[in-house]
Structure 1
Amino acid sequence: MNAPDRFELFILGPDEKKCAETADTRTPNSSVFTFKKEDHTLGNMVRAALLKDQHVTFAGYKDFELRIQTDGKVTPKEALVNACKSLVSDLETLSREFTKEYELRKIVGDATADQ
C-alpha cells in the first residue's frame, strides 16, 4: 500500500539523466559512468561488450557505477558508445533470428496440424 508505483523503478524523473560520466583521477584514461534506474542485466551486458574491445584494459561495475579504463587510443566514453552500438547490433540479430525461427516453427506446426 505504501510501496512506490512500479514504473518509478525505471522511468526517469524530469530532472534525472540516465547516465553521467565522472573522470577517474586515480588512474589514467579512466572514467566512472553512473547509470540511473538500471540493473545487473544491462550492467553485465555492457561490461562484457567492453571487454571485447582491444583498447579497454579494465571494465567493471558495482551498483551500476561502471568503471572503464582504456589504453588511451580511445576515450572511455568512446569505448562505451562502441560497446553499446555493438550490443544493439547483437540484439537486433537475436531478434531477427528468433522471429525467423518462430515463424518457421509456426509454419511447420500449422502443416502438421492439417494432417
Structure 2
Amino acid sequence: MKAGVQYNDYIGTAAADMSDFESNRIWSYLNQKGVYNDKYEFIGVSFYASGDSGGASFSFICKDKEDGTIKDIAFEKDQTIEEFINFFKRFNVVLGLRYQYEELEKIDDSIETLYIDDRD
C-alpha cells in the first residue's frame, strides 16, 4: 500500500512514534465507533487532507481475524488533522519534488538546518 494523490507532484516518506498509550488510544477510538479488537487486528493507518477544501480524513487498516482479509475502515463523520496527529507522540513527513526525490533520499541526518528569525 502506497500513498498517492491525483498527480503525485511530491512524493516522500512518513514516520511516527507511538504515543505511550497509542494502542489503547487507537482501540479506544475504534471501540467507540463499534470496531472491536476481538474481530480485527490493527495494522496501519491512512491519512488524507485537501488544501482546497480544508478537509481531512483518516482510516484504519485492519486485518479480519476470521478470514485474514485486509479492511480499510473509514468513518463518515468529519475528522480533523489534530485528531489524527494526537494518536502519535511525534509525527514527521518529508516530501520532495517527484523528479528530485532520489536526491533527497541520499541526504543523511547530518544535514545542516538553518533557522531563520522571521519574527516581526
TM-score range, shorter chain: under 0.3
Q: RCO (CA 8 Å, sep 6+): is it higher in 1 or 2?
A: 2
TM (norm. structure 1) is 0.24
Larger Rg: 1
Which structure dedicates a bigger proportion of its chain to strand? 2
TM (norm. structure 2) is 0.24
Which structure dedicates a bigger proportion of its chain to helix? 1
